[in-house]
Every structure is written in C-alpha cells, then in structure tokens.
A and B are shown apart, each in its own frame.
Chain A
Amino acid sequence: MKEHYERVGGVELIAYEKLTDHGLALPIFGRSRGANVYYTARSSAPGEAGGRITGFDHYDPDRLIPLPFEQVRETGVGEPWLDIFLWEGVPHVGTASEIWNRLADVRATIAEHAPLSLLALAEGVESAPDLQLIHKAFSWLMTRYGRQKALAWRRDTCLRGIVFKILRREVGASAYKPEMRRALQEQFEIRESGNKVNVSLGTPFSFVHPEDFATFTDIAASFDLTVEFSIATAEIAMGKTTQSSSRPVMRNRTSEDAMRIAALRVAASKPDGRATTTELKNEVGQYLTLTSEDTLPSKTRPNEAMYQQIAGNIVSHRGSKTNIFAKGWATYTGDGIQITEAGRQYLETLGA
C-alpha cells in the first residue's frame, strides 16, 4: 500500500530516559529541542555494537530528561547509533568510541563500581579490552553476589548472549519471525559441567558451524572452559573434530586460526614487524584464499567485509588464551600488533 509522507526536517537526540543513575540510558529523539512528540531509534544491529540508525518508533516517556543544550546532536537514518552513558550524574553523548575516550579518566572507577555497564559500552569500542572487562565483571559479581550468581551471569548472560547474537546475525531478517523468535528462546541451550561448556543448537540452526563462534570459544577458553557444540545432529568437540553424525559440517568461511596466521604474515612483511589494525584488515586477504562468505558485508560493521571484521577481532580479543598474543607470537602495540621472534619462527615452521 502506497503511503503519503510529508518531509518535515531533521531529527535530534534531545533527551533520554534512564534505567538507573549510571550506565547506558535510552536515547530519545525529537524534531527539535522543544518537541513534544518523542521517538526511540531502531538499530541495524539490535543489541550489538556498531549499528546504524534504521528508523524511529513513537515513544511515550514517563520521566524524560532533556539533554543540556550543548549535548543535543543532530542525526537521522543511516547515521551511527548514538549512546548516552550516565556517570556521576553527567550524561555522556556520542558513539560508543567517543564516550569511551571521554571517560578515559574515570574508566577505572567505573570498572570498580559498574563493570557490567562498562562492558556494555566497551562492546562498541574496537580498542577496548573486552575480555579483561568480562573477567572484571565476573570477579565483581563473585565478590558482590557470590559464586552462584557469577556463574549464572557467565553462562546465561555473557556466554549465552554471545551465542544468541551470533545466531541472530546468521539468521538475518528471519530472526524477527515468530517461529525463529521461539527457536531463539528454546532451540539453543548452554550447559556447564565442570570445565566444559556445551552449546546445543536445534535444527533451525543446523546451518551454522563451530567456526562461527570463535569469539565465544575465545571467551570460554579464557575461563579455562572447553567448548563442545551439539549442532542439530552433528556433534563437534573443538580441536578434535569428532563427528557423531553422518551429516558433514561444511566449512565455508575462513577459520579464525587461519586468519591469525595471515595477520602474523602481514606483520612479518612490515618494517619492525608492526602492523596496525587497519593494515591487518586491508592486507590479510593477500595471504588467504577468501571464500565467498568471507567477502560478504559484515552485519555489524557496515564498511567492512566479514573477513576484515574477523581480522579486527584478532586485536580486539587479545585477552583470549588461544590467540597470537597468549602464544607469544605477537605483542599489542596500542594500534595493532608486532610480530615477535617466536612468531617469525612459527611462520617458518608453516612454510611459505
């Protein structure tokens, strides 16, 4: 049905509604500062970092808090998602990276008092040490609320949340259909037993494969957890490739391990063995045979291909115990990596 629309001008981030006195708040938009019709924005990547605004919904606020004049921001569809982060009664407005940088002086304090909120903000910041923050949040919960609550958070919020977001990305627009919403609630489970974490995925997700969950396995490994995937009828133990199913698991995306080796090769090709994150993203492709899935646009970083996003993750997920930093093959330089002597020797063992 064709609808008639009227152009009425731009949109501004004019206010917010807070969940509590600190952390992320709900950004409220209007046509101008004095607007009395309010909107919330929709993100291209709901619940995830790095999204863009795709539309606006009517909103009926209860306790609207206007932003100070100087913090009002003009925005619109296609623009990067804007956050509002409250700390010490002050709203900080901008993209996650802008807010992260602005909070540099108080980040340590926030990590002490509100590590979950800082972690939520950090997910949108490429340079943020998110793995460290996850551990910080876990130990904070352990101290504050005890082991059971901390373990429940790790399993049900942290690890489950990562798998959920990956699955939602993989299923794309279908994620919002009623059947898939129900499947996302019921057809995947995360169970912990001892130092094992089992990810059980039902038939709606039979098309995914363990390599899609590299971020998840890195985080689990940092807690000394061994990951097992039970995907539909296939069962794969990470590292062992034991399959109990006759249905083969097709690999159609370059693994993160292969990506790490390519990143080392990029660094080795540079003077002093140093490569920035941007160089890694732009050049890893020279050392890999990219698959068609690798070159698909990233669903969370609009200007990048999937393989470039994974290359970036090598740096941003540097806290992982399985990565090139933990293995001593590279060091973090602040804006990228530098290959070590051990890293060069490792590449030699692999050959040209």
Chain B
Amino acid sequence: MTFITFEPPCCLRPVRRLGNMRTGLTAETNPVGIRRRRIGLAPKRELRDLAVNATPLPKPLDLVHVTSVGAAREIITLGQIEARECAVFKRDLVYMFLARPAYRLRNGQAKSDQINRFPCVFVIRPDKLGPPFHIYPFDTGAGASGCYGDLVDPHVYLEDYELEPDLSAAQRHIAWAFGGNRQYFEGDLIPGLVQSLHAWQSVGRGWLTIARLAATGSNQPDKRASAIEVAYSTRIELKGHARLVVFPQQLIEDNLGKNSALIEDLKKHDLAWETYDWRPNETPDFFMDEITRIVRRCLENAGQL
C-alpha cells in the first residue's frame, strides 16, 4: 500500500514509490509487469507438467470472491456475481481465488480504495459450476500490472504460467507446490522445492520467485502472489453455489430500510452470512485478517483445511 506520512505541523509529503529493495516489490504499479505472449506463439506451460504426477488432494477447496460493500450489495440483490470486463484478457470474466481471500485493487493499483476499506467476501462451492475459463497460479491482474516486481523472469510470459482449466489441475498444483490445502491457504510452499527444478525450467522457477512473495516470513507478503486464480466466463448464481457471505456488521442494522432488503435478499438466496467489526480507524490489513480467519474457519468446518 502507498503510505503518505504527514509531518507535524501538517505538511504534506509527495507520493513516492515505496518499494522493498530486496524483493523489488513496489507499492506502485510497475509499468513492465508480466508480458502477454504474442498471438501465434505457443506457450510453454511447464507448471502443468511439473504437477502432472502429483496426486490431487482429496478435499477440493471452495472459491473466494472478494469485493467491496457497494458491489456486494448489487451481487446479493441480483443473486449472482456478474462477469465484468477484464483489462488483461479483454473479455468478461468473474474472478475468484481458490480458498484464499486475497483481492485485487482497482486497475492493479496499490492505492487504497473501497475493496480494502469495505471488503465483502463470497465463499463459493465450485462443484456444480462447470469448467472454468482459465486457472492461473497467481493473480494475473497483479502480475500484469507489475505488482510482483522486477524479479519476475522477463522471458516467461503470462500464458506460460497457465494451469489446465480444470479444478483438479489446481488441486494437483497445490499438492506439488504446497503439499496440502492448509499450507496453500497460508501461502507456505514446500521447502526446497526450487532445488527439485532444473535450471532450464524457467517457468517453474519464475513462478516460485513470485509465489515466495505470499509465504509467511516474506518481507512484504502479498497473498495474491500464489493465490490460484480461477476465472469463469459466465455469471455465477449465488443460490446453490454460495456457502457464505462475510460483510461488516453495520449492514445487519437498519435505519431506513435498505439493509432490511439486503437481509431479505440473503434469505431469498439461502445465503449463510457472518459479519466482522468494521471501524473507520481500523487498518485494511485488519479487515482482511479478520475475513481470512472467518473463511479459514468456514473451510475447516467444511473439512477442506
């Protein structure tokens, strides 16, 4: 996140790129980012091969869609998460992450906005959703906008990282890279995995460089860096698919009737909900930690972690 510090008495400081010198993870968009492969050139999807012999973990994980309160209201009213135009893939997509409540800031920027000030989360059961449009082992929006810094291998293209568009492929990837659902949820890679790769396996090595940014102990942890992105090209109905909605507790109160309608809609779509304590002076990190805790417990109760 970009921080502006005000020095007393009231002096404004100009915005500056605050970056982690070691990882190169910058707080602002790096205009380079992970490049798209030119049309016509076949991607070398090495990650698929690396995980091919891994046994998919027995418990498939739910999907998590993080959005802002304003957008969540709309989703609940409509009873569906609508596909929105994606600037990276130039088509309408619904983005979710496997299990992990990571989120993408608007246009890949690190500037704080509604999504991290008023976050809401939908936990979605994927079993009846049909095949996804694509699956990537990180947030492609963050990757394309350069949020993973300049350690990213410039000779590995975005498409090279793509997994098979099948949730069992995602489970195999988790088994190969993390060893278990819980480790994946926390972002903790199997230690020493990089040593198992040959020097020429540039996609695998490139991905590990990115994924380490999400690991516990990373100087500037970014959970998007190894969150498995699952995109669908069609809308997702809440009824029958949503396991849980998490939103600020203020929304269950009602002064003017608007929130009653929201609660009625939650009932209409059979949505279970939990709340977190929203405060204007709280840090965005707290909201995400609290949501992560609630989602973790939900997945634990479902036997997935």
Chain A residues with a Cβ under 8 A of chain B: 3, 5-11, 17, 19-27, 31, 39-43, 45-48, 51, 53, 55-63, 76-78, 81, 83-84, 87-89, 113-117, 120, 144-145, 152-153, 156-157, 161, 176, 178-179, 181-182, 184-186
Contacts and interface: CB of A to CB of B under 8 A. Distances in A.
Interface of B: 1-16, 68-70, 106, 109, 111-114, 117-118, 186, 216-218, 221, 248-256, 258-259, 274-283, 285-286, 289-290, 292-293, 296
Contacts of B3: 55, 57
A39 B14 CA distance: 12
Contacts of B113: 59-62
B165 to A, nearest CB: 32
B275 A57 contact: no
B6 A178 contact: no
A47 B258 contact: no
Given A81-B281, A157-B277, A57 B253 contact: no
Given A20-B250, A20-B258, A22-B253, A58 B2 contact: yes
B281 A46 contact: yes
Sort A-B residue pairs by CB-CB distance and give the 3 closest, nearest first. Answer: A76-B10, A43-B281, A22-B255
B70 A76 contact: no
A7 B9 CA distance: 9
B174 to A, nearest CB: 19
B255 A19 contact: no
A190 to B, nearest CB: 12
A55 B4 contact: yes
B111 A60 contact: yes
A57 B1 contact: yes
Contacts of A81: 281
A178 B289 CA distance: 10
12 contacts: A23-B250, A24-B250, A47-B279, A56-B6, A57-B4, A58-B2, A59-B113, A61-B113, A63-B70, A120-B277, A178-B218, A185-B290
Nearest to A124: B281
Nearest to A21: B256
B255 A47 contact: no
Given A3-B13, A6-B13, A145-B252, 13 more contacts: A19-B248, A21-B258, A25-B280, A26-B118, A47-B281, A48-B281, A55-B4, A57-B3, A62-B68, A63-B70, A120-B279, A178-B217, A181-B285
A48 B286 CA distance: 12
A61 B114 CA distance: 7
A313 B253 CA distance: 28
A184 B255 contact: no
A176 B68 CA distance: 23
Given A8-B12, A11-B6, A57-B4, A20 B259 contact: yes
Contacts of B282: 46-47
Given A21-B258, A59-B111, A157-B249, A10 B10 contact: yes
Contacts of B109: 60
Nearest to A110: B255
B87 to A, nearest CB: 16
A22 B257 CA distance: 11
Contacts of B250: 19-20, 22-24, 114, 116-117
B112 A40 contact: yes
Contacts of A55: 3-6
A41 B253 contact: no
A113 B253 CA distance: 7
A260 B279 CA distance: 31
A22 B256 contact: yes
Contacts of A186: 293
A115 B280 CA distance: 17
Contacts of A181: 285, 289
A40 B111 CA distance: 11
A55 B109 CA distance: 20
Contacts of A115: 253
B14 A24 contact: no
